[in-house]
């Protein structure tokens, strides 16, 4: 399937190829080889059993080469049924073109690899400040388009009774008719508190974040009526 020269070229770049070389090969980039890689918390610690004995760790998807009818199919298909992010099956008539594709995939700017990497980054189980900025900037941009410079009014649907969290549940036997102090909470009042702190550059506290959550919930109903 691949000439000795082309296999040596892949090897010189750090890539490993295994198979019968007549109609089927598997290509991987071992972890630590410079080039494209997926984020550390996803695929960089997945072992690949190599040549039935060796265990190799990779930080990239594995590529299969299959030859049939004088064509070589380059395949990366990790999703079932697929295609998923970054999956592909590309046919080549020239083995030199196959090698060029492999080098581009593992070491250069490649759309297939970028699609897989983007999915891995987006689906990670953590969040950073940059993510928060992007999310909230997107929210602001969407409301700018929907409401422009008009004032957004709230209905009484946002009215509710606020009971202190420590009185949500009785955890021990108490006398009957214990007075519970409550206050009326309005989304308008919450927005007013948020506006005051923002205007006066006062840091938000935990209660303010709850107000922000209430505000987003209220705005979601308004946005739904606009769609």
pLDDT tens series, the chain, 227 aa: 899 999 999 999 999 999 888 899 999 999 889 999 998 765 445 566 666 667 888 889 999 999 998 899 999 999 999 899 999 999 999 999 999 999 999 999 999 999 999 998 888 888 899 998 998 899 888 888 888 878 887 776 655 666 666 666 655 665 556 665 655 566 778 888 898 999 999 999 998 998 898 888 888 887 777 65
- Alpha-carbon radius of gyration of the chain: 29
Cβ neighbours, 10 Å, residue 207: 10
Longest dimension (CA), the chain: 89
First to last CA, the chain: 55
Q: Would strands 24-28 and 160-162 be described as parallel, antiparallel, or unpaired?
A: unpaired
The pLDDT value given to residue 221: 81
Residue with the two structure tokens 């080889």: 33
Number of residues assigned to the chain: 227
| Distance (Å, whole) CA 218 – CA 189 | 13
Token pair recorded at residue 78: 């990790």
In the chain, beta strands by DSSP E: 16-19, 24-28, 46-50, 54-58, 63-68, 71-76, 88-92, 160-162, 183-185
Q: Are 62 and 104 in contact (CB under 8 A)?
A: no
Phi, psi dihedral angles at 182 (to 5 degrees):
-125, 160
Q: Are 94 and 67 in contact (CB under 8 A)?
A: no
């Amino acid at each position: 399937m691949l000439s000795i020269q082309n296999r040596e070229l892949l090897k010189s770049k750090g890539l490993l190829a295994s198979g019968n070389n007549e109609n089927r090969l598997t290509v991987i980039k071992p972890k630590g080889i410079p080039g494209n890689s997926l984020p550390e918390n996803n695929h960089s610690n997945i072992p690949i059993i190599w040549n039935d004995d060796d265990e190799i760790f990779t930080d990239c998807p594995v590529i299969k080469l299959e030859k049939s009818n004088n064509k070589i199919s380059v395949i990366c298909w990790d999703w079932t049924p697929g295609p998923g992010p970054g999956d592909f099956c590309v046919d080549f008539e020239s083995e030199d073109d196959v090698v060029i594709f492999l080098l581009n995939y593992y070491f250069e700017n490649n759309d297939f690899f970028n699609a897989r990497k983007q999915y891995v980054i987006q689906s990670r189980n953590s969040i950073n400040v940059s993510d928060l900025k992007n999310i909230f900037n997107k929210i602001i941009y969407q409301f700018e388009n929907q409401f422009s410079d008009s004032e957004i009014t709230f209905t009484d649907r946002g009215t509710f009774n606020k009971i202190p969290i420590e009185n949500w549940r009785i955890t021990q036997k108490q006398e009957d008719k214990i007075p519970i102090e409550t206050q009326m909470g309005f989304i308008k009042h919450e927005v007013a508190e948020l506006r005051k702190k923002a205007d006066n550059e006062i840091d938000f506290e935990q209660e303010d974040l709850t107000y922000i959550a209430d505000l987003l919930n209220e705005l979601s109903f308004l946005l739904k009526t606009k769609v």
